[in-house]
Structure 1
Amino acid sequence: MCSYDTIENVSFYVEATSALLGVGGALCIIVSYLSYKNLRTFYFRILFYISITDGLKGAIFFIPANLLKITEICIISAVTTNYMTMASSIWTLLISVIIYQATANSSVKVEKYIRNWSIFVFCIMPFFYLLPLSTNSFGLIDINCTFKENIDGNLWRLGLFYIPGWIMIFISFYAYNKVFKSSNLELVDESTKTLLKKVTLYPLVIIILFTLLSILRILMITIPESCALEYFSTAVMGIYAAHGFWNAMIFFTTPSVQILICKRKMSFSSGKSSVTYSSQASSGSNINLLDCPSLLIKESISLKDYHKY
């Protein structure tokens, strides 16, 4: 089972099956967000954008290798997968940045953040991923289109994929580390702390994906090609293609999402959720950062400022 044709067929079906899970997971999040108005908080709105990028990235893995041999299709595939991966990572970073700002006693203007992030991700960033065209650095590697295995291709790969990816990972790690060590977190209710822990799983997925891809890249450079390496590559690309599925697993195990989808009574504005306006106004000690449209999110004030109320 070490012939090129066998490996190519196995790789395609593994990646396509994983991509089907990834696209399905992303679509489930998108449909849920559009179907339930109570999910349209800043956190789920960003996750909605993440799911769009995951779905588009996953769809590329359905393209068979014979079509990817067409230059135009290969270029579209390479640009899409690399750009969508970075876009997903940047949106995930935004969640950690906003939560960090909220717990660091600084003003949190969520709408401004999202607007600026949207302009950068959707209007500016795509041009960066078109730059490798100037050096003809996209090509078909095995059954996937990505940066070519040459000096120019590897430089673009580092500059547009691995370096920015790991920088975002370290920023997210720093932000969440500060959040969970913050004394202000004591002001937050237990259900929100649980949700915060769930939120940290999204960058964890990205960390795992980038770690696996980095290990694969190192192995491809340092050891000769072998059947074992080819199948390891297939496994890594399969996990990578299923990104939307891993996010969906986190999303649908989030307590507030489960309660809402199970049609239990839940109202963020009438005092029936774990944290509401009435409880906030009376005690000032329970502030839900993510699950309800709290003053923190709507009026852009810090935990410290809110506590003064």
Structure 2
Amino acid sequence: MTYDENTINQIEEVLIRIILITNTLSAVGATLMILTYFKFKELQTFAFRIVFYLNVSDLILALSNMLLVKKDFNNDDPILCLIQSYLINASQLSSIIWTAIIAFILYQSCIKNQNEQSFNICGYLFIGFCIPFSISIYPFFTHDYGFAGISCWIKEDIKHPVRSTIVRYINFYIPLMLIILYNSSVYIFIICKLYGISQQQTKFIYKMISYPLILIICWIFTAFNKTYEEIQDQQQIWLLYLSKALSGLMGFFNYLGYGFTPQVRDQCARYCCKRNSKSVSVELELKNQQSLDTSQNTEEIKSRNSVNSQRDSVQGELSFIAELY
């Protein structure tokens, strides 16, 4: 299906708005999680450190997607185009790899009964950052990075279109599909093992269900859109819009699913209450604040006791996710 120039311009304008809006939300979500991690020492645990690394990847990806997005983009700055291509390829690989690392850690905690002290953070950093950012270098030597629509990534080789498709699948879509299968398999296995054992474990199960769904929802339409385009040699505009919107929101969804947990909300609420109490000069408000602090301390004690009881109830099997919640 071919489109006239006016239609193409309209499509590009809509895509630019979608990319800017969704990636801005992802960048804001990832930034909030990163700042929260550094602000509150109570959150600087092993579990939140892994989530912190995931959000770093999401932030790089969101900023990279917005780097050269503009109307009438014509690749007039090849150096910036190459930088964007590299950062997009490396950061999106890194992001999905970190979701697989989280799934692996949950599996080790639940099935193998390993505590967090047995996990090697340096190994995870190597897998989550060094590998994707290293293997993303080779397209520089094969000259596969370049102009790809309204931004830069794996460029379209007009003379050898099949080669461009193969490079894209090797660089991203095949690893994406493998990680989706791996994450889904791990969480299904964990859910089957824990379902119905206790009420606390059942609550954890419902939280874990969202993890593989985030990855699937954000990227399945992108993979389907690219496959459909290659097979049918045409583009479904609604599918293109949907794939760009959901893939752009991955960082935002990861923030909601992995980072914006009750423990994070409690820390932020206590911080805001402390800041507000400094500006209160009326005695009645001070008394109300003291009453609120007392109530919060009581709730905090209950919350900690609840978390401890949750950890005891699972006998260390879900210590990673218990730290988050």
Q: TM-score range by the shorter chain?
A: 0.7 to 0.9
Contact map agreement 1:29 1:251 (CA 8 A) in 2: no
Closer, same or farther in 2 for the Cα pair 1:185/1:126, shift >3 Å?
A: farther
SS at match of 2:320: coil
1:1-309 equivalence runs, <5 A: 2-62=6-66, 63-65=68-70, 66=73, 68-109=75-116, 112-149=119-156, 150-182=161-193, 186=197, 190=200, 193-225=202-234, 229-251=236-258, 254-263=261-270, 264-265=296-297, 272-276=304-308, 280=312, 289-290=319-320
Give the length in aligned residue pairs. 287
Tell me by how many angstroms 1:89 deviates.
1.0
Query: How far apart, CA to CA, are the structure 2 residues paired with 1:279 and 1:64?
Result: 46
Tell me by how many angstroms 1:213 deviates.
0.8
Work out the percentage of aligned pairs sharing the same amino acid: 22
SS at match of 1:146: strand
Contact map agreement 2:27 2:63 (CA 8 A) in 1: yes
Contact map agreement 1:271 1:277 (CA 8 A) in 2: no
Instruction: Return the structure number with greater helix share.
Output: 2
Contact map agreement 2:219 2:243 (CA 8 A) in 1: no
Q: Which residue identity lines up with residue 212 of structure 1 in the other structure? A: F
Tell me by how many angstroms 1:70 deviates.
2.0
Contact map agreement 1:195 1:254 (CA 8 A) in 2: no
Query: How far apart, CA to CA, are the structure 1 residues paired with 2:117 and 2:323?
Result: 11
SS at match of 2:51: helix
The residue aligned with 2:280 is: none
SS at match of 1:4: helix
Closer, same or farther in 2 for the Cα pair 1:110/1:119, shift >3 Å?
A: farther
Q: Deviations over 1:203-225 (max 9, x none)?
A: 31111222111111022113344
Q: Which residue identity lines up with residue 187 of structure 2 in the other structure? A: Y
Tell me by how many angstroms 1:230 deviates.
3.5
Tell me by how many angstroms 1:55 deviates.
1.0
Closer, same or farther in 2 for the Cα pair 1:211/1:288, shift >3 Å?
A: closer
Contact map agreement 2:311 2:322 (CA 8 A) in 1: no
RMSD of equivalent CA atoms: 3.1
Query: How far apart, CA to CA, are the structure 2 residues paired with 1:286 and 1:128?
Result: 36
Contact map agreement 2:145 2:154 (CA 8 A) in 1: yes
The residue aligned with 2:284 is: none
Q: Which residue identity lines up with residue 64 of structure 1 in the other structure? A: V
Query: How far apart, CA to CA, are the structure 1 residues paired with 2:27 and 2:133?
Result: 21
Runs of at least 5 residues in structure 2 that lack an aligned partner in the other structure = 271-295
Q: Which residue identity lines up with residue 77 of structure 2 in the other structure? A: I
SS at match of 1:107: coil
Runs of at least 5 residues in structure 1 that lack an aligned partner in the other structure = 295-309
Q: When the two structures are superposed, what TM-score results if normalisation uses the length of structure 1?
A: 0.80
Q: When the two structures are superposed, what TM-score results if normalisation uses the length of structure 2?
A: 0.76
SS at match of 1:273: helix
